[in-house]
Structure 1
Amino acid sequence: MIFTDHAHDAVFKYIEGTIGVQVFFIISGFVMSFTTRHLTASPLENFKDFAIKRAIRIFPLFYFAVLLTILVNHATLSLIFNDHLSTLIRVLLFQPTFINNQGPYFGLWLLPTVWTLNYEMLFYALFAISLIAGRFRYYALYSLLLVFVVVVPLILTHQFSFSPDVNYPFTIQYLSFITNPIILLFLSGLLLAYLLPKVKLSKTITLVFFVLSTIIFILYIRRILPVSPINNILACTLLVAAVILVDMQNLFAPPKWLIYLGNMSFSVYILHMVFFTYLPMMFEQKLSFLNLKDSWLQVAIIFIIVFVFSAITYELIEMRFTNYLKDKLFTRKTRL
């Protein structure tokens, strides 16, 4: 959804890409909780292992994407390193640029998808901290998220909102970022990881639930159902819950190519905007005689380039390089 939304606004005008980010946040919350439910090491060891593994998972590909973005945007290199060096440093540290105060983005950069990774890294940081609480880690994490979203805004501004567009009048800008209600989507994923393994449904009921959840989701993104922050969370959560239940009961056997595409989705996500931003400009300058502007052919060509390039980065960076780092840093094989 995110990919196609960014690809071509005219061609994919019926696909809501921004809601794909919110679905991803719910999935992330679910995966982090589900894959760490049987930790056996000490709380501090779990904290260290989780933090290092998440860094290994995110940093190499992210920094490669930032470097690629800077290189293809060579016309503004001097601007980046002279007038906006502080902004680049914020990006590299997964901090909002605060070029503006519009939530949940709080300023975009040359690589627009960066803002979502800021929240992802915030969630990872809170999750890692919660691991120190041992068997009480989930209570600690739920509390941290609710304190950020509800308690801090109430104490400092006497208000709170469930809308990611909220702009609290904080004197400290960073508080606007860590209190943004979009982080409740991670909480939704955490709750799914706790509840779904306890749910016992027949395959027929699961299939019906999947169909109904999909219909509700489609009606919502088409704005046929009422749009609100709460409805947004519910629509996304129902869809993710339905897909997880279908997977748990093995109702569908996805083809190998789809599994591979899912495995390399991070590469596709982090790199696609580089190509969809700069390739159309290059086509217009170098291949104007082909008249590719705003055409299906241009979209198809960029799609192919994105997937081929993403497959290469997935194999070289996400698989070989990150596994090399894990093998060097860990003596026991407990990969998340």
Structure 2
Amino acid sequence: MGYERTSGTEIALSKLLHVQVLRALAALSVAFLHAQHDAEGLAARIGHGFAALDRFPWMAGVDVFFVISGFIMVYASRPLFGEAGARGVFLARRLVRIVPLYWAVTTLYLAVSLAAPALLNSAPLQPWQVLASYLFVPFERPDGTVQPLYSLGWTLNYEMFFYLLFAAVIVRPKRIALSLLVAGLAVLVLAGRLLPLPQPLAFWTDPILLEFAFGLGLGWLHAKGVTLGRGVRWALALAAVALLAANLIDLRSDLSEMRPLAWGLPAALLVAAAALSRTEREPSALTRFAVTAGDASYAIYLVHPFAIRGMGVVLARTGADAALGPWGFVALSLAVTLLAGILVHRLFERPLTDALRAWVDRRA
């Protein structure tokens, strides 16, 4: 999410080191949340106490991804604005970037659900719902949630919808295109608040769409050459973390309505702090590793449930879970998730994306 992997654009994105680091932290934040959930089950099984760090909204890593996505689409699409044929080129590149790995993990999840449904503890879906999952069409599951077969894909359903909207305006000059897109997102959200819409229209008018608009605005500021000093950027980042940690709004009462304010605005502050830097220092070894994790953040996000659940199964069958304990499990799960994500990115995602992108460019 929020990353255009091409030879030319990748060189440009290499200058956004802090954005890459933020992408890594966002992916690991979501993984940390889910690792704690499995650690609770481990603690109950071995008779240990476990107090999850659930005061902080770790799931807000997704909101950071959405803001980054809006920013990167502006940043990476600069040569395409106002060009004939831009729609097809843009959509082809986004499909190449998003679809292969998502379809791979969805197919793996489908195989596991058929072979060992007890491992997943989820209600079976109808064939049309499985097909809709592959096609990024939202639908309501039997439990009332609007999630595809592989539940993490709900974020990609939003991403693909945003890409379609972006493609609709990209043939216009950048200023006009972004104005139309921000206005369109606002109108969709307003319509969703005023009208009782069925699915998937209710999904496509959720207030979370405004987080893409936040990213578009930051992309516009970046294109205009707006930069922030180091002190200001640190202040924004600390303010964002403080707002999230304060948990000022009871999100459990109405997460959908308040999420752009409670999580989206702090996410935008974090992205502003990362993206609007004046200069890039020579990165340290730690920063270079974080950038590597940022490159693999899409893979980390999609494979982390397999890594966490797989680690739990191995520890339970070997009897090592009692010795490791719930927090040891969380730490090991994050390490395995990070390694698995980087390996999947380097051995599968990047080679396949590069090959498909080269094929698309030859046909463009």
CA displacement, residues 162-199 of structure 1 (integer Å, 9 cap, x when unaligned): xxxxxxx32x3211011101010000100111123435
Please tell me whether residue 184 in structure 1 is matched to residue 224 in structure 2: no
1:283 is aligned to 315
Q: Separation in 2 of the partners of 1:125 and 1:238?
A: 26
2:236 is aligned to 213
Please tell me whether residue 42 in structure 1 is matched to residue 83 in structure 2: yes
Please tell me whether residue 261 in structure 1 is matched to residue 293 in structure 2: yes
Please tell me whether residue 76 in structure 1 is matched to residue 138 in structure 2: no
Question: Given that residues 130 and 140 in structure 1 are in contact (C-alpha distance below 8 angstroms), is that contact kept between their aligned partners in structure 2?
Answer: yes
Query: Per the alignment, do residues 264 and 83 of structure 1 end up closer, same or farther by CA in structure 2, a change over 3 Å counting?
Result: closer
Q: What amino acid does structure 1 have at the position aligned with 2:221? A: L
2:221 is aligned to 195
CA displacement, residues 297-327 of structure 1 (integer Å, 9 cap, x when unaligned): 3223323332232222211322111111122
Question: Given that residues 56 and 322 in structure 1 are in contact (C-alpha distance below 8 angstroms), is that contact kept between their aligned partners in structure 2?
Answer: yes
1:86 is aligned to 128
Question: Given that residues 111 and 273 in structure 1 are in contact (C-alpha distance below 8 angstroms), is that contact kept between their aligned partners in structure 2?
Answer: no
Deviation at 1:82, TM superposition (A): 7.8
Q: Separation in 2 of the partners of 1:42 and 1:112?
A: 36
Deviation at 1:295, TM superposition (A): 2.1
Query: Per the alignment, do residues 196 and 289 of structure 1 end up closer, same or farther by CA in structure 2, a change over 3 Å counting?
Result: closer
Q: What amino acid does structure 2 have at the position aligned with 1:183? A: L
Q: Separation in 1 of the partners of 2:324 and 2:283?
A: 38
Query: Per the alignment, do residues 213 and 323 of structure 1 end up closer, same or farther by CA in structure 2, a change over 3 Å counting?
Result: same
Q: Separation in 2 of the partners of 1:175 and 1:290?
A: 44
Task: Provide the TM-score with structure 1 as the length reference.
Answer: 0.81
Q: Separation in 1 of the partners of 2:179 and 2:105?
A: 35
Task: Provide the TM-score with structure 2 as the length reference.
Answer: 0.75
Tell me which of the two structures has the higher relative contact order, counting C-alpha pairs closer than 8 angstroms and 6 or more residues apart.
Answer: 2
Larger displacement relative to structure 2 (319-328 or 177-186): 319-328
1:121 is aligned to 160
Moved over 6 A (4+): 79-82
Question: Given that residues 188 and 204 in structure 2 are in contact (C-alpha distance below 8 angstroms), is that contact kept between their aligned partners in structure 1?
Answer: yes
Q: Separation in 2 of the partners of 1:13 and 1:152?
A: 30
CA displacement, residues 31-76 of structure 1 (integer Å, 9 cap, x when unaligned): 0011112327733x11111111111111110011112223333223
Q: What is the correspondence of 1:252-331 to structure 2 with a 5 Å cutoff? A: 253=283, 255-284=287-316, 286-288=317-319, 290-291=321-322, 295-331=326-362
Q: Separation in 1 of the partners of 2:76 and 2:249?
A: 34
Question: Given that residues 123 and 142 in structure 2 are in contact (C-alpha distance below 8 angstroms), is that contact kept between their aligned partners in structure 1?
Answer: no
Show structure 2 runs of 5+ residues with no match. Answer: 1-28, 38-50, 251-257
Deviation at 1:90, TM superposition (A): 1.8
Query: Per the alignment, do residues 86 and 281 of structure 1 end up closer, same or farther by CA in structure 2, a change over 3 Å counting?
Result: farther
Please tell me whether residue 245 in structure 1 is matched to residue 276 in structure 2: yes
Query: Per the alignment, do residues 15 and 72 of structure 1 end up closer, same or farther by CA in structure 2, a change over 3 Å counting?
Result: farther
Q: Separation in 1 of the partners of 2:109 and 2:170?
A: 35
Question: Given that residues 106 and 150 in structure 2 are in contact (C-alpha distance below 8 angstroms), is that contact kept between their aligned partners in structure 1?
Answer: yes
Please tell me whether residue 130 in structure 1 is matched to residue 130 in structure 2: no
Q: Percent identity, aligned pairs only?
A: 26
1:21 is aligned to 62
CA-based RMSD of the aligned residues comes to 3.0
Question: Given that residues 5 and 15 in structure 1 are in contact (C-alpha distance below 8 angstroms), is that contact kept between their aligned partners in structure 2?
Answer: no
1:4 is aligned to 32
Q: What amino acid does structure 1 have at the position aligned with 2:224? A: K
Show structure 1 runs of 5+ residues with no match. Answer: 158-168
Query: Per the alignment, do residues 287 and 211 of structure 1 end up closer, same or farther by CA in structure 2, a change over 3 Å counting?
Result: same
Deviation at 1:15, TM superposition (A): 4.3
Question: Given that residues 97 and 108 in structure 1 are in contact (C-alpha distance below 8 angstroms), is that contact kept between their aligned partners in structure 2?
Answer: yes
Query: Per the alignment, do residues 308 and 48 of structure 1 end up closer, same or farther by CA in structure 2, a change over 3 Å counting?
Result: same
Question: Given that residues 30 and 191 in structure 1 are in contact (C-alpha distance below 8 angstroms), is that contact kept between their aligned partners in structure 2?
Answer: yes
CA displacement, residues 118-174 of structure 1 (integer Å, 9 cap, x when unaligned): 1011111111111233553223322321221114643xx3xxxxxxxxxxx32x321
1:233 is aligned to 264
Q: What amino acid does structure 2 have at the position aligned with 1:189? A: G
Larger displacement relative to structure 2 (271-280 or 60-69): 271-280
Q: What amino acid does structure 1 have at the position aligned with 2:127? A: L
Deviation at 1:224, TM superposition (A): 5.7
Q: What is the correspondence of 1:147-166 to structure 2 with a 5 Å cutoff? A: 147-151=187-191, 153-154=193-194, 157=195
CA displacement, residues 240-274 of structure 1 (integer Å, 9 cap, x when unaligned): 1111123x422573532111111011000011012
Deviation at 1:216, TM superposition (A): 1.4
Q: Separation in 1 of the partners of 2:347 and 2:218?
A: 33
